[in-house]
Structures are given as C-alpha cells and as structure tokens.
Amino acid sequence: MEWTKEMRYQRLENVSEETMEELRERVENCQWRQTFHIQPPTGLLNDPNGFSFYNGEYHLFYQWFPLGPVHGLKYWYHTKSKDLAYWENVGIAIKPDHFYDSHGAYSGSGIVKDNELYLMYTGNTRNDNWERTPYQVIAIMNKDGEISKQANPVIFGVPDGYTDHFRDPKLFKKGEHYYAVIGAQREDKTGCVVLFESANLQNWSFLGEVKTDIQPFGYMWECPDYFELDDKGILVFSPQGISPQGNSYQNIYQSGYLIGDKLNIPQLKFSHGDFAEIDRGFDFYAPQTMLAPDGRRILVGWMGLPELDYPTDENGWAHCLTLPRELTLKDNKLIQQPVKELAKRRKRKESIRTTIKNETITPFKGTAFELICEINALHAKSLGVELRAKENEKTVVEYKVKEKTIELDRSKSGKSVGEEYGTVRRCTLEQCIKLHVFVDISSVEIFINDGEEVFTSRIFPQADSEEIRIFVNDGEASIVAEKWDLS
C-alpha cells in the first residue's frame, strides 16, 4: 500500500473506531509481537522520549504514528513502570494539536520541577509549500497524569546559521540553571549540537554551538543527550551521513558518544576522545538516558532505524524499544548492563555445567528467554551460541579466537530485514568470557563480558525455531549456562 501525504497526516480523531479495530486485530494477529518489550499498540514506534522518574514511577514516552508502519503525524505515547521491568500502557500523552506542533509532536525529554514533570519537545510544522519550521514546546504533567501545554512555543524557529533540521531538546540541570542540548544542522549541511539555557524552563536563551573536535561529522545530529558520569562529560547523539569504515558505521544511521571533560558551559567547549558507537547490532537508534533515584544512569534506545522496511509492516505495526540498560564507565568506555530489576521477569530456570569439544549442544529451548553463558575456552578456533534455531534457521553469535572478533550473523534468522546493509555485524574483542542474552519473539540483545559490547537486533524467525545451542569449533571449552523463561 502506498502511504500518501494525506494518509500520513490524517488525524487519529478523524479515523473511525471500526478502522482502528481492524488495525488492532491485524496487529494482534502478527506472529512477531513481543512479550517483554515496549511495543506500539498499532502503527509505528520510534524514539524514546521524556524518560524520567516522577511521582514514584518511571515514565517513558515514545514517538508514535498510530495508523500504520510509516512515519507520519507523530504523537507521544505514554508508558510507565514502578520497577523498570513491567510497563503499563497509559495512552496518548501529547497530541499534535496546536499551530506550533501541527505536523508532529517530535522528540524531546523530561525533567521534574516543582513537583511537576516538564516535557520539552520539538513541534514540527509545515506550511502550504511544505516548508518546515520547528518550535520548541513545553508540556507539563501533574501528579494526576494530566498534561497541559501553556505559553508555547518556548523557542521560536531557528537561530541564524542553521537549517530547519533543528530538534530533539534534551534537558539537564546544572546548579540553578536548566539547559537543553538540541540537534542541529548548519547551513553548510553539517551536523552539530547547540545549547540553550533557562532559569525556569519557560524563557530560554541561545548560548551557541557546543564546540567539539570531530568536525565535520555527518549532515545532521539527531537526538543529543548530555550527562555526567563519575567525573566525565558524555555527549550522546545519532549522526546521519557517516560512511561505513571497517567494522563500524554499518547501519543506515549511527548512534554513539563522545567522552571527555565535563562540558565547559561558559566557553561552550567540550574536550573529548574519539566517537564510539553505543551498540554493535543492526537495529539501534536515538537512545535517551535518565537518572534513576538511586543515582544510576539508565539508557533506552529505539530498536529500529528510519527508512527500512520490516516484516511486521504488513501487520500494521513496526518497532519496539530496547530493554533499559544501566550505564557505567570503565577505561573511558561506556559499559551497558541490563538493569537488575529485569530479574523479576524470570520464570522457570534450567542450567548446565559441562565441557564441550568440537561440537554443538542443544541444552535448552525457548522463544522468549534470558541466557547467561560463561565460557572458558581451552584452545578453540571459535565458539558461541545459536539462538532461535532449527534445521535451517539460526541467529549466530560467534567469537573467533585468533581474529579476536565477535560477530552477530542474522543471515539465517528468518525473514530478512535491510539486507542491503549486510547480514553480519562484528567488532574486535580481546576475549569472550560471558554472553548475557535476552531473546524475545522478534529480537535479540546480547551483552558481552558484562556489557563491554552490546549487539541489539530485530530478528524474524518462525515460531518453532526454538533451539538454544552452544558450540565450540576446533577445540574445547568449559561452559556454565543458565536460562530462564521470561514472562
């Protein structure tokens, strides 16, 4: 089906209940609906937004186009959780219903002030000639979960020197002041991040561009995030227009970070090291972080990418969010671990302890599970796991000992996705001693060596591809593996 502009900008209020019911039914009949990931009730989910802790609960919103698996008029959809493990669908949070967000309530973030949750986002607008003007907007959620927009927009249009690609405010507070980093494109078509300051979240002044050392680097930086961890400043963003280089930058768009000294706000200077990708998998974009009440920095990403078709499209929905991950720093590198609360979802447990030699074993079965596999290789050429496997299907994680590389191969994972961008992702790794894997009906998240590297990907296997295999080629390894079904 071709999605015309009229269809993409149709308002949900004008769609009949019967049409929505039909769509819901089509979505529910999809064989790839997830069991423990946040996914849209219908239509398309993209960026996580407004991730915060307010009034005793975690709040996580996402970009939502309700009517089908395409990008169109965006709403914010609201989910909440008491524990980061179980999420409740609340419903639509922000509608694109004012002149300043007429063509979409685009991405943004949240911060608590005076017992209310302030959500700042980009109002996307288009005129009759389809020319874009972005506005930055504030919506306020109270303790009853009511959201109102007042005195908007708080930032009109774009400062001189930038194009209309100017969006995705991420709020943070330092001392008495609030700041927003915003993703931007310069008039010379290169990407960057700019900084605004406010004393009250309503009146904003433009401070200027954050000076980094990696210029030029792509044509647009989307969804920036700035936070401090230990004594470092970390700038996360999703640059577009970076060409593949070795094992890196293989996806259509990237997401990564710079680590440096804390941002020098008066001088707008950020001194940092090299850009590093956050995730090594096929489907990861536009992550956002929040600070949990106990001081943990937690990240959630969009498990998808723009401009690619996915097999769920024909059932009227697309994409999900990643599991929440705790971030820590080790040797100037971000380490990502699934949040500990996810253990609450563990059901039946099975485990094995064995030594295997030039063989593949199938100790477990499952389609929605967590697996922790500790491996001690005693001379082996390669080793790894095969997930969602049967005769001719498998998703393979393999560590090649001599090459010191780990790879995820989804060439036999079932229905293909984005094959034009390749079917294998890999990165270098000194040694592989632990694989911590979360598999859902249509995704894998693989945490290696307690979060040193992570591969996140959608997969679309058949329902009966449920073998979980462990293998060693040309050698021997001792294995301790534990597996839980996840509810």
- The first and second tokens of residue 204, run together, are 């904003």
Contact with ligand FRU (CB under 6 A): which of 107, 212, 315, 336?
107
Selection from 161, 155, 162, 205 nearest residue 183 by Cα: 162
Backbone phi, psi, residue 22, to 5°: -60, -45
Choose between 42 and 46: whose C-beta lies nearer to ligand FRU. 46
Strand order in the sheet with 256-260: 220-229, 232-240, 256-260, 276-277
Other CB atoms within a 10 A radius of the CB of residue 352 amount to 15
Instruction: Give least dist CB 300 to ligand FRU, A.
Output: 14
The H or E element containing residue 253 is none
Give 49 or 52: the residue with its C-beta nearer to ligand FRU.
49
At its nearest, how many Å lie between ligand FRU and the CB of residue 287? 11
Residues 151-180 that bind ligand FRU (CB under 6 A): 167-168
The residue within the footprint of ligand FRU, chosen from 87, 106, 135, 364 (CB under 6 A), is 106
CB of 99 to ligand FRU, least distance (A): 18
| Token pair recorded at residue 290 | 């929040």
Candidates 41, 145, 159, 306; binder of ligand FRU (CB under 6 A) is: 306
Strand partners of residue 117: 112, 141
Name residues whose C-beta falls within 8 Å of residue 5's C-beta, 6 or more positions apart in sequence. none
Q: What is the SS3 assignment for 3? A: coil
H or E element in which residue 118 lies: strand 116-126
**Closer of 74 and 412 to ligand FRU (Cβ):** 74
Distance (Å, whole) CA 112 – CA 178: 11
Supply the DSSP string of 287-340, one letter for each residue.
Answer: EEEEE-TTS-EEEEEEES-TT---GGGGGTEE-EEPPPEEEEEETTEEEEEE-G
End-to-end CA distance of the chain: 35
Tokens 């990237």 belong to 254
Task: Let me know: does 180 contact 193? Beta carbons within 8 Å.
Answer: no
Whose Cβ is closer to ligand FRU: residue 107's or residue 125's? 107
Q: How far apart are CA 432 and CA 292, in angstroms?
A: 30
Tell whether residue 95 is a contact of ligand FRU (CB under 6 A): no
**Residues classed as catalytic:** 47
Q: Minimum CB separation from ligand FRU for residue 253, in Å?
A: 8
- What's the farthest any 2 CA atoms get from each other in the chain? 68
Least CB distance to ligand FRU at residue 462 (A): 30
Indicate the residue among 317 and 447 with the shorter CB distance to ligand FRU.
Answer: 317
Span 27-56, contacts to ligand FRU by CB under 6 A: 46-47
Closer of 63 and 315 to ligand FRU (Cβ): 63
How many residues of this chain bind ligand FRU (CB under 6 A)?
13
Count Cβ atoms within 10 A of the Cβ of residue 409 and give its class: 0-12 exposed, 13-18 middle, 19 or more buried.
middle
| CB 235, min distance to ligand FRU, A | 16
Q: Judged by CB under 6 A, does residue 122 bind ligand FRU?
A: yes
Of the candidates 119, 155, 278, 286, which one interacts with ligand FRU according to CB under 6 A?
A: 286
Report in angstroms how near the CB of residue 85 gets to ligand FRU at its nearest: 26
Cis check for the bond before 153: say yes or no (omega within 30 of 0).
yes
Residue 242 neighbours by CB distance under 10 Å = 18
- Return the residue of 63, 125, 322, 382 that touches ligand FRU, per CB under 6 A: 63
Residue 250 binds ligand FRU (CB under 6 A): no
Decide: 339 and 84 in contact? Cβ < 8 Å.
yes
365-424 positions binding ligand FRU, by CB under 6 A: none
The residue within the footprint of ligand FRU, chosen from 74, 78, 410, 426 (CB under 6 A), is 74
Q: Looking at 84, 223, 242, 327, which residue binds ligand FRU (CB under 6 A)?
A: 223
The structure tokens 């307010």 sit at 54
Q: Report, in Å, the least distance between residue 134 CB and ligand FRU.
A: 9
CB closer to ligand FRU out of 167 and 186:
167
- Residue number, 301 or 414, with CB nearest to ligand FRU: 301
Which residues in this chain contact ligand FRU in the complex, by CB under 6 A? 46-47, 63, 74, 106-107, 122, 167-168, 222-223, 286, 306
